Structure 1
């Protein structure tokens, strides 16, 4: 009795272990698929709101008028602590202003045109960045999955000494686990540099909260701002006394005059309407991987220097390069297309890796019918659920409940295939019982 109980306990533990492994693979697959989709983040925003005003550039005076119009529209509400102006770029040729309470598009004259409505693109970004979880937990989990991809890539190369020699050996015509393994190994080799670059930068971005918090606790008395100041600069001391609206026009004119080789794409107003207010302009440097350099200005538009992301320490430049390298925000459309193709290949590698694991289980005599069905449900369910949320955006508008729609669709896809597999197993078992009974009847007669 005790032996049977122990054996049953071990069997259940193995099943739980397999299910847990499948959940980890599922989240890893989800991260790869959403990462592929988010490469077109700007294009998705334009698709969501086709009627938003677009322009290739906007005059500094119009930017200032837009800032004043937005702040005036909030005069009766709480004071915003930050105001962000997205300037027109090649990928997103729109001027958008975001505050603590709203986000609006403005036209080329600086007039408020319409509220920004890109909830689906933001949902997709949050799904990839943090799995729709709170930032600390979600980004840490995604960062750990980035580290997992690094480990899988390195261990995969070590475990297959002939992996590079067989880089173009593909027995794809075979409809068995050999073809699955060939697709897995070939795609893994072809995408290895991409996988390492994406996973390393993803781990760095995802573990930002943990590493930054640890650094702050260890060397800066828990002050996160002080810990990050050597990389991203420090904040001037605040002063909440009332003051006039800051003037962004001279700052933008200064950038055009003194730094014509860079491309400003963001204006940030810190604590607007207070005596401690100041401005920053983020400008992209062509043919550089850094996401940009911070140019600091006071409220009157007088220049106060740069942070050093473009020409500072190696650590600063490396930190500023992780975002573009991870998301493919450099090189225009050709680079985005390459990232999409490599992202699809990486998703296939993760999917086939789990199928290979299931094949090995079955060769050892461990039935994996329900696990295989669950994995097929997830592999097909994730892209189908993303399409369903996009359909909901088009049908229900910007307020559609994307998060529950996505997760419910994924769970239903898995459950439906598992139920179908269970019914197939039951039918097969009934056939076997019937056949066995028939044989015994013949023998008895």
Structure 2
């Protein structure tokens, strides 16, 4: 490809995705600090108790949630020991197959099985930021559209790299021509900041695109590995009564002793079958804590049915999610992600400014040429 071809690729891919990338950068800023914002907004936490206080039976926790919301069914139980120690988050809905946004959360003290809070569904600032960032309130079509914008952003970055090399042969690296007109100064700033954030922008763009495929990845996993694991139960009627949740989790822990429980999907929910509790286990290192291993336990007998490592495509998705938001390295990494996000906003804004100024310059040149032509014709 010629330099002009690369210029056209960079120009149009950038123009098409710029508005949406600006929206993603702005909405992504509060999401980087979602944990800190949750604590500041007064999320209920478990009261202090002596160290080593034993946990209550999870069957008692489930019963407490049902008493709190008797009209709902339990779909998931989550534990976030680092963010919310000794709290069990119980996700409930009218039906087990209700849409994800129709869920209600009950917070229960893991040690006492007492309800801490049953907040109404969050539809505030953070919810709006998350929905805009994930799917623009358009569901799967919105997610796939944002994935396409992420691909265009990646192409714009690569084409920008190609253009930057011949451009910089005429200038020292990082030079900003302050004595020239404003458009050239902003061109130099745009190029310098673009190169400075190159690796980060590629990582965030690619991982963001992968994250938009999450629903498709889940569906592939359900029809692939999950279908193999539950094949012996195909055609059997769902159980009329469920057995012990606590015993089922103990069976999963025994089968995968080097991992601990992340969350449990109840029978009939998105990540399970009508016959199983699916206990998702995670590791103890910064990397393995982001990976999940499903253990399917018969919901009637509490006997392990199967447990396997997730396939490569699910692992790719699971690893891309924390990398996208920079939430695997504590507060210092979040601050770095924020600074790089702000710089990217400047890069996107300056690129849009340069395009507008170039168009104005072109229109001015055309008007001058038309005026000269008219004067020559009149003379």
* Greater RCO structure (CA 8 Å; 6+ sep): 2
- Under a length normalisation based on structure 1, what TM-score does the superposition of the two structures give? 0.63
Q: Name the CA distance, whole Å, in 1 between partners of 2:320 and 2:160.
A: 24
CA 1:210–1:105 in 2, change beyond 3 Å: closer, same or farther? closer
CA 1:322–1:366 in 2, change beyond 3 Å: closer, same or farther? farther
Please, which of 321, 326, 329 is the counterpart of residue 327 of structure 2?
A: 329
2:121 is equivalent to residue 115 of structure 1: no
- Which residue pairs with 1:3 in the alignment? none
Q: CA deviation at 1:161?
A: 0.9
Alignment RMSD (CA, Å): 3.8
Q: Name the CA distance, whole Å, in 1 between partners of 2:52 and 2:135.
A: 33
- Which residue pairs with 1:200 in the alignment? 206
CA 1:330–1:124 in 2, change beyond 3 Å: closer, same or farther? same
- Contact preservation (8 Å) 2:174, 2:192: yes
- Under a length normalisation based on structure 2, what TM-score does the superposition of the two structures give? 0.72
Please, which of 130, 147, 151 is the counterpart of residue 135 of structure 2?
A: 130
Pairing of 1:173-252 with structure 2 (within 5 A)? 176-208=182-214, 225-227=222-224, 229=226, 237=234, 239-248=237-246, 251=249
How many residues end up aligned between the 2 structures?
A: 330
Q: Name the CA distance, whole Å, in 1 between partners of 2:147 and 2:192.
A: 26
2:24 is equivalent to residue 40 of structure 1: no
- Contact preservation (8 Å) 1:264, 1:281: yes
2:164 is equivalent to residue 160 of structure 1: yes
CA 1:49–1:268 in 2, change beyond 3 Å: closer, same or farther? farther
2:108 is equivalent to residue 106 of structure 1: yes
Q: Name the CA distance, whole Å, in 1 between partners of 2:330 and 2:251.
A: 26
Q: Name the CA distance, whole Å, in 2 between partners of 1:180 and 1:275.
A: 59
Partner SS state of residue 85, structure 1: strand
Q: CA deviation at 1:342?
A: 1.7
Please, which of 321, 344, 347 is the counterpart of residue 346 of structure 1?
A: 344
CA 1:342–1:269 in 2, change beyond 3 Å: closer, same or farther? same
Please, which of 25, 29, 54 is the counterpart of residue 18 of structure 2?
A: 25
Q: CA deviation at 1:326?
A: 1.8
Q: Name the CA distance, whole Å, in 1 between partners of 2:136 and 2:161.
A: 29
Q: Name the CA distance, whole Å, in 2 between partners of 1:172 and 1:234.
A: 67
Q: CA deviation at 1:172?
A: 7.0
Q: Name the CA distance, whole Å, in 2 between partners of 1:195 and 1:161.
A: 18
Please, which of 261, 264, 267 is the counterpart of residue 264 of structure 2?
A: 267
Partner SS state of residue 168, structure 1: coil
**Bigger helix share:** 1
